[in-house]
Structure 1
Amino acid sequence: MSIDSDALADRLTAATGGDPTGWLWPVLLRRLATGHPGSLDDLAQATGRHRDEVRNALAALPDTEYDEHGRVVGHGLTLRETPHRFTVAGRQLYTWCALDTLIFPTVLDQPARVVSPTPGGGARVRLHVDPIAGVTALEPATAVVSVLIPDRCDSVRAAFCDQVHFFATPTTAQDWLTDHPGGTVLTVAEALELGRRLAQDLTRGPGCC
């Protein structure tokens, strides 16, 4: 390995301040993966927690997306369209960033098909991700993933996710690296290892990553 996925994951945890909602997050993702929003009552029943406890946990996640009825429609995995298309069990979903597409198959324990544009309106990257087998198809095979760990991030989506992209080749990522001197570019295999480590941390429960 040319990266230390544990070290990168630890740096991201330190930047975000950790996530005390490991009991809620995977349940929320599984609900969203059905293609339906999650109400407070839905999530309370699924987690065995009080409705107010769920509400307070969601309030601690400022990037969470809601519909007009106050139901959750997105947090990393989203029902709202983004550039990152994430298809599970025939359902068209979306993610906030390229790395999300490599994290969520592990959390959901389901394979996914991913289509994501490269920055600047360039080529699309297409891949199949299996929770056990890993990346089973990748086009182009030279694709890489950009990662920039912020010093801190009150908004994970703005400070971290918005800088995590697929690029068709390491060469096409060079301009991004020049503009983001603290960033790094990972092979898709390396990004998958990082994603699996983050998935383990984020589903470990209270006090996890």
Structure 2
Amino acid sequence: MTNPFTGQIIDTLFANDTPTGTTLMRTAIRLLALGAPITVEQLAAAAGVDPAELATAPAAADIEYDERHRITGWGLTLNPTPHRFTVEGRLLYAWCAADTLLFPAILDRSADIESPCPATGTIIRLTVHPDTGVADLDPATAVISLPGPDELDRTMVRTTTCNPGRYFADASAATTWQAQHPTGLVLAVADAYRQLQPINQRVLTETSTPEDR
């Protein structure tokens, strides 16, 4: 059962979305994981949909493009962020800490994560497996922050949802963050992984595309 907190996040992020939009996002994440920019036409062909459907997709306003209007980031990105996401030897990045817990299942690949605590500078390291979740967390006390649903704005997903989502060395290091985001959650990493899984279920089951078959 979807917990109320995650349910509110899903309702905000996927409001007015279509199954085709979610298919495009899922396909883009998988293509970007190969380590190169993708054209809108390549994405649409891989997803089997009309390129015009991109406008209905989750976080479409935040999609990153290069000077040739190729997609370089959509949750998973080729552009540096605090969240390093290494999959099959390719160094990529994620928009937020929560994404690092979600994308291994979408990719069906394990990923090694490194992200600095904004309060202490400690580098949090972990591996996330697509089937078994979090492993080798260091430090073991690390937590993750999730902004409150009342902060989320689907027209500014990266600003309101992604940027506040960070790894912290421990709960005490997140004290200032919690004071700034009183309706948000600070969770042990394994707990956050479990609470976020309904989002993955939505992304993975929203339709099927040729690469899913």
TM-score calculated relative to the size of structure 2: 0.88
C-alpha distance in 2 between matches for 1:175 and 1:57: 36
C-alpha distance in 2 between matches for 1:122 and 1:164: 16
Aligned pairs for 1:42-57 (under 5 A) are 42-54=42-54, 56-57=55-56
Q: Is the 8 A contact 1:144 1:167 kept in 2?
A: yes
| Residue 211 (structure 2) aligns with | none
| Residue 113 (structure 1) aligns with | 112
Cα 1:36–1:167 shift into 2, 3 Å: same
C-alpha distance in 2 between matches for 1:5 and 1:168: 27
Q: Which runs of 4+ in 1 moved over 3 A?
A: 51-54, 56-60
| Residue 9 (structure 1) aligns with | 6
C-alpha distance in 2 between matches for 1:102 and 1:149: 18
Structure 2 residues without counterparts, runs of 5 or longer: 208-213
C-alpha distance in 2 between matches for 1:119 and 1:160: 17
Give the AA of the match of 2:194. E
Instruction: Provide Cα deviations, 1:105-137, integer angstroms capped at 9, x if missing partner.
Output: 011110000000011451010000101121121
Cα 1:180–1:116 shift into 2, 3 Å: same
Helix, strand or coil at the partner of 2:22: coil
Q: RCO greater where, 1 or 2, for CA within 8 Å and sep 6 or more?
A: 1
C-alpha distance in 2 between matches for 1:122 and 1:84: 13
| Residue 94 (structure 1) aligns with | 93
C-alpha distance in 2 between matches for 1:158 and 1:60: 10
Give the AA of the match of 2:190. A
**Structure 1 or 2: more helix by fraction:** 2
Instruction: Provide Cα deviations, 1:61-118, integer angstroms capped at 9, x if missing partner.
Output: 1000001111111011000011100000000000011110000001111000000001
| Residue 31 (structure 1) aligns with | 31
Identical-residue share of aligned pairs (%): 40
Helix, strand or coil at the partner of 2:183: coil
Give the AA of the match of 1:147. L
Cα 1:179–1:44 shift into 2, 3 Å: closer
Helix, strand or coil at the partner of 2:205: coil
Structure 1 residues without counterparts, runs of 5 or longer: none
Q: Which moved more, 1:192-201 or 1:73-82?
A: 192-201
C-alpha distance in 2 between matches for 1:44 and 1:96: 22
| Residue 129 (structure 2) aligns with | 130
TM-score calculated relative to the size of structure 1: 0.89
Count of aligned positions? 202
Q: Over the residues paired in the alignment, what is the CA RMSD in angstroms?
A: 1.9
